[in-house]
A = this chain, B = another copy of it.
Amino acid sequence: MLGNTFGRLFRVTTCGESYGEALFTIVDGMPPGLKLTKEYVQAELDKRRPGQSKLDSPRLETDQVEIVSGMREGVSTGAPIGLLVYNVDRQDIHVDQYRQVKDLIRPGHAEYPFFVKYGEHADWCGAGRASGRETVGRVAGGAVAKMILEREGIDVISHIVESHGIKACPMEFEQIVANYRKNDLNCCDLEKAEEMIADLGKVREEGDTAGGVIEIIAQGVPAGLGEPVFDKLKATIASGLMGIGATTGLEFGRGFDTARMKGSEWNDAPYLDGEHVRFRTNNCGGFLGGMSNGEELRIRVAVKPTPTISVDQDSINVMEMKEAKLSAITRRDITILPRIYPVAEAMVRMAVLDALYMAKGYDYFCRLDPKWKKMGEPRNKA
């Protein structure tokens, strides 16, 4: 397995799996002088922790994090931050459940390509590293990014805008902040949320699961982040979000609607606001040429239904190479929307911060008149 690192300068490397002993996160690129606490990281981890509602898997993980390096008397030293989370819910009863189905392909699940890659050594217990449990490390790394971004005035937030075909009303950033995490689904349209949750109750009764859409908004991002050709901010964020297992679609700004529009409709008109350039609309979702334009970033991600369902499914026993039936596996999420939005926030934070690291070094060498950066200061933050 390769590729367990995200980022170029601000880099997060993780290890750990569903039923391993512990999960590590190493955050490289930490600046000195920050008062990172385990409570701060814990608050983010608590968002994605299982067992918080009937929508989630009942797995009992406390996800208690320890900061084991990079700090001296409560202040970061600049050394890489090591974050440690032990897995606690690894009782034999669950291990045995997985052992019974260890040679069976789970339809819709990442385990199948694991068999092709790792053969009979693929970790069969709770899907191993193919489990959503690896996202603990992403959220831990994203929490560190959050602290650094806060000092830059950059906020990243996400919420559920669609569940199983039920759509929330569009919302302004302030509304989302106000209604953030007010219900089990983290849908900030509180009325629609009730409808969604009721619908998911039915889905659960059917032994089924459902998909949905998450929206991520970033405020305070200065114009000019991202590199023009292959390393656009749009590309880096896309890599971060499509690197999450369950994602199947992505939209920046108007996204697929864009495809139905004319240039005269789509182009956001610029205007002057003092020394700043602003845009009257935000069809582009804050991205021009894939780089930030100073407006808020708006990104949507489609999320597939949890593949693990309580219904018998066709499968294959890959050791015997025989077709087989996969019976229901007990613990699962009805929808992973409330578990995955903190992961999406984390990935966007890391991608934006990493782009900021890239930009700042290069900026030094540009020796530009300050007017240009002034021009691109983000809306609401100037």
Contact = CB atoms under 8 A, between A and B. Distances in A.
13 contacts: A3-B230, A4-B229, A16-B68, A20-B70, A22-B68, A23-B69, A32-B122, A84-B84, A113-B224, A164-B259, A249-B252, A264-B309, A357-B365
Contact of A13 (B26, B280, B303, B309): B26
A82 B15 CA distance: 6
Contacts of A108: 263, 266-268, 284, 288
A116 B278 CA distance: 13
A338 to B, nearest CB: 15
A245 interface: yes
Centre residue among A14, A134, A203, A260 by max chain B CB count within 10 A:
A260
A9 B15 contact: no
A358 B10 CA distance: 11
A182 interface: no
A325 to B, nearest CB: 11
Given A119-B372, A275-B321, A2 B224 contact: no
Interface stretch (A48-56, A73-81, A168-176, A184-192): A73-81
A15 to B, nearest CB: 4
Contacts of A269: 107, 313-314
A242 interface: yes
A16 B305 contact: no
A302 B26 contact: no
Interface residues of A, number: 171
Nearest to A245: B289
B361 A77 contact: no
B376 A230 contact: no
A21 B76 CA distance: 14
Contacts of A151: 367
Given A22-B69, A107-B269, 7 more contacts: A17-B79, A78-B114, A206-B262, A234-B243, A238-B243, A243-B290, A270-B316
A205 interface: no
A259 B165 CA distance: 7
A68 B131 CA distance: 16
Interface string A91-121: 0000000000000010111111111111111
A153 interface: no
Interface string A42-76: 00000000000000000000000011111110011
Contact of A223 (B112, B164, B373): B112
Contacts of A304: 258-259, 261, 266, 284
B242 A290 contact: yes
Interface in A296-354: 302-309, 311, 313-316, 318, 321-323
A230 B240 CA distance: 7
